A and B are shown apart, each in its own frame.
Chain A
Amino acid sequence: MAVTVRLFAAARSAAGMREVQLEGATVRDVLDALQVTSPAVARVLPQCSYLLNEVACRDHSASVADGDVLDVLPPFAGGAH
């Protein structure tokens, strides 16, 4: 399955790219492929959350389909109170 991975903020900076097409059957496959393509992004991924087609995706064993969009979201700015 060909999935579009969109990288934001610190994930984009680490990877040096905004978007990449990757193959995989599950979210986990795609994230593994991402780290092969861009080893530098591995440092950021443990803190990230994910959106599959703009819906929160916590189950990395979830299947992906051709044309799906997986967003990699580093922690939000939040801020001190």
Chain B
Amino acid sequence: MVTAGNALDNEQVSIPAYVSVTTDPISVTDLVRHVSTTHAGAVVTFSGDVRDNDHGRDVLSLEYEAHPTAQTILEKVVSQVAAKFEVEAVAVAHRHGPIAIGDAALVVCVSARHRGPAFDACSALVDEVKAQIPIWKHQVFADGTDEWVNCA
């Protein structure tokens, strides 16, 4: 299922936020457009890409599964975290479904007047989104075994 990205304004501080949980490919280049503003002197981006290895084992393929509430939860997390920093705009996209090795699974872009808050907000967004978004990762290894990550 593809969920279109929603442009939403944070109610408390009105930080423009673009938030998307999608099965479509995502890219830093596309997301940067959502945070670009003449007020900002700094744009920090993060691309979390699918690795071909995990804990020393070769990963053949990987799939993310999203709970139906993932978009709503992501919107909430992004607005809560963004409100803590002096930033101009944020954009966050998380992909689900089968994802090829090397493709981006999570992209975060932040613009701010200065680089300090942009770096800090980007790092905090990555940590909080990964911790809170109801998305699961299933990986298949070269030796034929498979696992749901964090679910031994």
The interface bits of chain B over 126-144 (1 if a CB of A lies within 8 angstroms of the residue's CB, else 0) are 0100111111111000000
Chain B neighbourhood of A24, CB < 8 A: none
Known: A47-B151, A75-B150. A10 touches B136 (CB 8 A): yes
Chain B neighbourhood of A44, CB < 8 A: 151
A74, A77, A78 interface centre (most CB from chain B within 10 Å): A77
Partner of B131, one of A8, A10, A78: A78
Q: How many residues of B contact A (CB 8 A)?
A: 20
By secondary structure, the A interface counts as loop
Known: A9-B148, A47-B151, A54-B69. A73 touches B134 (CB 8 A): yes
Chain A neighbourhood of B64, CB < 8 A: 77
**Smallest distance from the beta carbon of A60 to chain B beta carbons, Å?**
20
Chain A neighbourhood of B134, CB < 8 A: 73, 76
The interface bits of chain A over 1-38 (1 if a CB of B lies within 8 angstroms of the residue's CB, else 0) are 00000001110010000000000000000000000000
Instruction: Give the contacts of B43-87 with A (CB-CB under 8 A).
Output: 48, 64-65, 67-69
Indicate if the CB atoms of B135 and A77 lie closer than 8 Å. yes
Indicate if the CB atoms of A75 and B151 lie closer than 8 Å. yes
Nearest-neighbor residue (CB-CB) of A74 within chain B: B151
A77 to B132, CA, bound (A): 9
Q: Is B149 an interface residue (CB 8 A)?
A: yes
**Smallest distance from the beta carbon of A49 to chain B beta carbons, Å?**
9
Instruction: Give the contacts of B6-50 with A (CB-CB under 8 A).
Output: 48
Residues of B within 8 A of A (CB): 48, 64-65, 67-69, 127, 130-138, 148-151
